Every structure is written in C-alpha cells, then in structure tokens.
Amino acid sequence: MADATAALELLECQADDELEQELQTNLAQLNCSLEEYELEQSLSGPCDKNGAYLIINAAIDDLDAREWALMLLKMYVGWGQKRGYRVKCVEDSLWEYVEINSAILEGGVNSLTWAIDGRYAYGYLKSETGVHLLKRTSPFNITRKQASSATVEVVPMYVEREIPQQDLELIILPRNLKSSNPVESWKRIVHIPTGISAISGEYRSPLQNRERALAVLTSKLFAIMQRQGVQQLADIQGDRLPTVLNQPIREYQFASDSPNQGKVLDLRTGIQTTAVAEVLDGKIDSFIKAGVLLKN
C-alpha cells in the first residue's frame, strides 16, 4: 500500500509511463488481496481453514471417464500449486490394478485421492463436490456430443474424531505389480455401518498407510456429518449418502480434438467462460469464488 501511495504522489508531480505501469500492477495486486481477504471472512466453517483431501471417482468400465478424471486431477493440482499449497498423492495406483483384480475397486469405480494442504484449501474447494460433466464433439459426427462424468469429493484434513474399532475393517490390498517398491503395502479401511472406505499407498510403511487411510476415512465421515447436520457417527443416514455426490455441478464442453474451442458452465451459479484450456490448467478461481459465496 505504501509503494502505491508513493508512486501516486510522484505521478502527480511528473508523468512517467513506467511508474504508471508499476502503480497499476500494485493496485491490481492490492485489489486481489482485498478480494481474497473478504472471501476468507465468509469461510467460517469448523474446518474451512484446513487442508483438503481431493477424491475423484470414475466408472471402472469407461475409459473416457477415467481419462476425464485425470484431466480434473491435473486441473486441481495446477490450482493448488499456483497458490503455493503442498500437493501430494495419497492414492492413485488403483488405475493400474484394473487388469489385476477389479474386485478390490470399491463400488465399481476407480479412485484418485490427493492431499492439497494449505490455509483455507478445504474452505475454497468444498463447493467443488459433485459431478463434473465432460461433453466433447464426436470426431465422427459434429452434431453429436460424447459425454463422460467423474465425481469429485472434497473433505477436510486434520479431523480428530474417534471411530469405534469394532466399526472398522482393515483390508490389505495386493502389491502393485508395476511398482519397484518391494515392501509396498496398500491399506483399505472400511467403516462397516456406512460402507464408506478409504485407501492409502503413498508410504513404504504399512503402518503409515493404515494411519493415512484412517485419516481420510475420518475426514469423509466428518464431511458427511456436516452435510447431513448430525453430531454423531451413528446418526448418519445411509440412504442420503449419495445425494450431494450425485448432483451435476459443472459442464466442460469442447471439440473432441481441441479444448480451445468450447466453454465451461457452472450449473449452480451460471458462471461460464470460453477459456477452457486455462480452466483445465487450473485457473478456476472465478468458479471457486462463486461456489463459496453460494454456499455461504
């Protein structure tokens, strides 16, 4: 602020194109900081300041949907890195298990889980939960659209809540045959009453993988409790579990061979842009801001 004030005083005395450009840059940065500050003031949820687990699911038998899930992952990773957040894989090797043993894939889906750790990551991203639809022009018929979908779920990190041991089932998954890690041990933990589960294989240590899977599971259950407005795990209503996750929230439309032609439309707020390639590169702040304001 002091730099901008000093530059303004100098401009009043003498015109200077370079100084004027510097002033405009400083003012733009100041406005951006003020907008972000005001947005963060509306993030008052119990875990809004926490990091976030980003979970993306796609149908196991739909290659286009699996490709779309990876594109979404790249988008969110790009967004997190641009903000200086710590971005780390928790689980994504299940993509390589499809031909080995499809039975281990929960609910017939492929799952990707990444940690996006930074101040307000959960508060910003929680409104991204829902179905993201991809519509591409068919290369064989320009009047026909090919549709794919992937489900995004965002839950908070660092949730502390005890889960009764009798309600948990630990499953050791087969070692990833494509991995060079001889001691790799994937852990899957299931919450028996709800069927909700989480997987981790990011560590060499089986114990660390178990602890990470339990942390993700706890976060999933907490997010469900928040959405359903209940205080106890036992009060979670199983018949309402898919409600939020099954709601389409955004459409990404572009030509089959070019994401530079098309648009991205948020189905809840009406926000849209034709800069599809930039969106897929992680420039999603306009959608996130609109989602935060809608939720609050």
Q: State the pLDDT confidence band at 121, using cuts at 50, 70 and 90.
A: very high
What is the structure's pLDDT at 45?
A: 85
* More confident position, 6 or 32: 32
What is the structure's pLDDT at 175?
A: 55
Q: What is the pLDDT of residues 20-35, one digit of tens each?
A: 676 676 665 666 666 6
Neighbour tally for 155: CB within 10 Å: 27
What is the structure's pLDDT at 188?
A: 85
* More confident position, 149 or 139: 149
d(CA 281, CA 78): 6
Name residues whose C-beta falls within 8 Å of residue 251's C-beta, 6 or more positions apart in sequence.
Answer: 133, 134, 135, 264, 265, 267
Beta strand 109-117 with 168-173: parallel, antiparallel or unpaired? unpaired
Q: State the pLDDT confidence band at 206, using cuts at 50, 70 and 90.
A: confident
Instruction: Please state the rounded mean pLDDT for residues 40-51.
Output: 86
What is the structure's pLDDT at 58?
A: 86
Q: Does residue 109 surpass a pLDDT of 90? A: no
* Locus of tokens 């003031």: 41
Neighbour tally for 267: CB within 10 Å: 15
Q: What is the pLDDT of residues 162-179, one digit of tens each?
A: 999 999 999 876 655 444
d(CA 290, CA 296): 10
Beta strand 248-255 with 130-137: parallel, antiparallel or unpaired? parallel
d(CA 68, CA 131): 12
pTM attached to this predicted model: 0.80
What is the structure's pLDDT at 32?
A: 64
What is the structure's pLDDT at 288?
A: 93
Q: What is the pLDDT of residues 78-102, one digit of tens each?
A: 999 999 999 998 887 544 444 334 4
What is the structure's pLDDT at 278?
A: 94
The answer to whether the beta carbons of residues 128 and 291 sit under 8 Å apart is: yes
What is the structure's pLDDT at 92?
A: 72
The answer to whether the beta carbons of residues 228 and 236 sit under 8 Å apart is: yes
* More confident position, 31 or 140: 31
Q: What is the pLDDT of residues 218-270, one digit of tens each?
A: 999 999 999 899 999 999 998 888 788 899 999 999 876 677 778 999 999 99
φ/ψ (deg, to 5) at 11: -65, -30
Q: What percent of the chain has pLDDT over 70?
A: 73
What is the structure's pLDDT at 203?
A: 81
Question: For the purposes of burial, counting CB atoms within 10 Å of the CB of 263, is it exposed (0-12), middle (13-18) or buried (19 or more)?
Answer: middle
What is the structure's pLDDT at 282?
A: 96
What is the structure's pLDDT at 97?
A: 42
| Nearest C-alpha neighbor of 93 from the set 75, 77, 115, 112 | 112
Q: State the pLDDT confidence band at 285, using cuts at 50, 70 and 90.
A: very high
Mean pLDDT of the chain: 81
What is the structure's pLDDT at 273?
A: 95
What is the structure's pLDDT at 202?
A: 78
Q: Where are the alpha helices (DSSP H) in the chain?
A: 2-13, 17-41, 63-82, 121-125, 206-228, 242-245, 276-280, 285-295
